[in-house]
Chain A
Amino acid sequence: MLRRLRHIMHKEFIQVWRDRKLRFFLIVPPLVQLIAYGYVINFDIKHVATAVFDESCTMESRDLIKRFCSTDWFEVKYYLNSRKELLDLIDHDRITMAVWVQWDFAKQLRQGKSGKIQVIVDATDSNAALIVSRYASTVIGDYSQEQLQARFQRQGAQWAGKRSTPLILEPRAWFNPNLISRYSMVPGVIAMVVLLQSLMLTALAVVREKEIGTLEQILVTPIRPLELMLGKTIPFVLISLGNVVLVTIVGVLWFEVPFRGNILVLLLGTCAFLFNSVGLGLLISTISSTQQQAMMAGNLFLTPAILLCGLIFPIANMPIFFQYLTLLNPLRYFIIVSQGIFLKGAGLALLWKEMVSMTALGLIMLALAVLRFRRHVA
């Protein structure tokens, strides 16, 4: 049996390796995906294009505007003279935010009343709008507190001059103190890349033989279905493990993501996860007869799996039904494992639950695939 298995694996490796373009596709897409996701998914706001419409034109208003200019968050690009200009800029996507200081701003302020400011945010992108508005509020809040302090001083208060705000917030983020998006994205993308590659490669490898007609030739040889399955999948398991190592190295060297755990634990987790993706790939190959069908079926699974894994969209925000649904998503566990190993240096003691869940889901998937494979392919 081992000898026959070896031959099938040998054949599969030759087939993958002979194809120059495919060889390219085994290595390049994971890296491109890593780089794209690593850089694109970024909620650290910086340099938001801002316009200022200062009707007040006083020392106070200029002082406020200066604060917007001096942070990294905003880039004041336009100084406007009319509301119409503002409309025009927002329609053309030139600015995301506008600060409109009302004409009586300084007057109100000097009288101890509230000066009015309007902050207009283009909320077409509601997520960014929320973050932008929060930063604007912070800038204005600081200014407001300083003005209050100044009033304090004028009234000769007991603590005048100490310039102390009543409370400050000290944020502490564990494992990722500066909250760098990349640190959480890169380990997650590694998980995604493994899924995309192993699932599609396995599914297409079997279906292609079906479609071209070479599967019949294999079936007349003394090779048994189980050997055929193993022979078809083991090469892709090995390739996927190699890819994990490659992508991890790039993540650590290029993105400078800390790797605090043990690579062996990561590989073990990958193996547990591969049961799922390879099993699913085989399952897909049993229900489809052409490569196009396999791709469509694969996409139908992949899209929800990627969207419901918690990497891009937090699971805690989903409705309860979808939160339970994510429990069936092997990718969800693998991402926790990968992030845990990278950032927390977690070992099996902390991750065993996820490992067991992945293995269990994977074995069910494989069993289904084997049953159907026997009946429908061989």
Chain B
Amino acid sequence: MNLPRTWAIFRKEVIHVRRDPFSLAMIILLPVILMLLYGYALTFDIKHVTLAVYDREQSQLSQDLIKHFQGTEYFSLVQIARSYEELQNLIATRQAQVGLIIPYDFSWQDQTGKTAKIQALVDGTDSNTANIVLGYIQGVTTPYAEKLLVQRLQAQGPARQDSPVDTQLRFWFNEDLESRNYIVPGLIAVIMTVVGALLTSLTVVRELERGSMEGLMATPLKKTELLLGKLGPYFIIGMFDMLIVMAMGKFLFQVPLRGSSFLLLALSALFLIATLGMGLLISVGAENQLQAYQMAMLITFLPAFLLSGFVFAIYLMPLPLQLVSFLVPARYVVTISKGIYLKGIGLKVLWPSALMLAAAAVFFVGLAIRKFEKKIK
């Protein structure tokens, strides 16, 4: 490998990037937009679930239960329905996310020590929200049921009664359960994939499609020099984006960075090389830019978005997909970045993931160089 020749290709590629300020602006804008969207708009933390109640009893007890719902920040009561049809209508028109039906014999059942049935209606079309909402309702009714039981018990016996179990919930590493604290570290993987793989997947095939590759092949350039020189500028852009993401995370969203930022940078550089290698491999294999784009979306972006554990927990996936996720480099960088950001752990724990990233980097870049043929078809 000859350094000056690699340098020449590097400079040529820099000129390509510079001459296209539109793409360059997009590449810098994209992480910013993603960060803003995820940081401000996208969360699973549902608060203020709109609640409608059809209270068929209207007793002191049923009012008390409704008050318990209003007392949490999770529900906001939008309407008291006067009939079942009205409740149905409120849900169908999406004015209320959940409808609660309190039976006419609620107090009576309680006084005679029987079980009252409370119905909760949700629109299952959006099953995830429905699931979370039903969980919230359970979170109100379960303690309430226990409270009623204790009251019954107190009415019987003289002694003060405590709840048998006192559960203390501890959320480690992300005490306030902020969505953005786990999304921002994971976003690094997605942004780097978009920037790295999409851009490099075009670099070689573009020259092929435009016909300028012939000129390059007539030079004494070795293929290693050509490909590595082409990767250089994109590596710098990728790392620059990484710095933007880290800075926005720190100053705008106050995501705690508990581990070493140097280690984070070093390991994400490794991931970037792996991603660039994947892009390069695609570029070498594709016949035109459209194909390259489709392939890059399919084999780099989609797995990085879905199978990396960035938003969607890996252990909830079916087993075959869990196994596939081991082949996705983004998975390791998400583990690393969440570990460094939130848990503050270092290489002592993270070395297997780091090793996998290094292996992926060598593998993809090596394969791309091997597959590239310096001749005209």
Contact = CB atoms under 8 A, between A and B. Distances in A.
A81 interface: no
Interface residues of B, number: 123
Interface in B106-137: 106, 109-110, 112-132, 134-135, 137
Interface stretch (A89-97, A232-240, A355-363): A89-97
A91 to B, nearest CB: 5
A48 interface: yes
Interface string A99-131: 000000000010011111111111111111111
B317 interface: yes
Interface string A15-27: 0000101100100
A102 to B, nearest CB: 9
Contacts of A148: 146, 149-150, 153, 163-164
Nearest to B199: A292
Nearest to B157: A155
B171 A133 contact: yes
Contacts of B156: 152, 155, 157-158
Interface stretch (B225-233, B295-303, B367-375): B295-303
A262 interface: no
A307 B43 CA distance: 11
A224 interface: no
B79 interface: no
A307 B35 CA distance: 12
Interface residues of A, number: 121
Contacts of B114: 162, 164
Given A47-B315, A166-B110, A166-B148, A140 B165 contact: yes
Interface in B185-225: 194, 198-199, 202, 206, 209-210
Nearest to A180: B127
A167 B173 contact: no
B23 A314 contact: no
B159 interface: yes
B118 A44 contact: no
A21 B287 contact: yes
B275 interface: no
A169 B287 contact: no
B170 A169 contact: no
A319 B128 CA distance: 19
A131 B345 CA distance: 25
Contacts of B306: 36-37, 40-41
B66 to A, nearest CB: 13
A300 interface: yes
Interface stretch (B7-15, B25-33, B235-243, B244-252): B25-33
B5 interface: no
B30 A166 contact: no
Nearest to A141: B142
Interface string A161-183: 01011111111111111011101
A212 B163 contact: no
Interface stretch (A5-13, A265-273, A339-347): A339-347
Interface in B129-178: 129-132, 134-135, 137-139, 141-146, 148-150, 152-153, 156-157, 159, 161-175, 177-178
A148 B289 CA distance: 68
A165 B113 CA distance: 8
Interface string B314-335: 0111100100000000000001
Contacts of A297: 22, 26
A319 B129 CA distance: 17
A121 to B, nearest CB: 5
B342 interface: yes
Contacts of A138: 138, 142
Nearest to A16: B290
A211 interface: yes
A119 B132 contact: no
Nearest to A173: B124
A285 to B, nearest CB: 13
A36 B302 contact: yes
Given A124-B173, A169-B141, 10 more contacts: A29-B294, A29-B297, A123-B177, A126-B171, A144-B163, A145-B145, A152-B156, A167-B145, A288-B22, A295-B293
30 contacts: A21-B291, A29-B298, A40-B306, A42-B316, A49-B315, A91-B349, A112-B159, A112-B161, A116-B166, A117-B166, A118-B168, A124-B342, A141-B142, A157-B157, A159-B113, A166-B109, A167-B148, A171-B120, A175-B123, A179-B130, A212-B209, A292-B23, A296-B30, A308-B41, A310-B126, A313-B43, A317-B42, A317-B45, A318-B42, A322-B41
Interface of A: 19, 21-22, 25, 28-29, 32-33, 36-37, 39-49, 64, 90-93, 96, 109, 112-131, 133-134, 136-138, 140-141, 143-145, 147-149, 151-152, 155, 157-159, 162, 164-177, 179-181, 183-184, 196, 200-201, 204, 208, 211-212, 288, 290-293, 295-297, 299-300, 303-304, 307-308, 310, 312-314, 316-319, 322, 339-340, 343-344
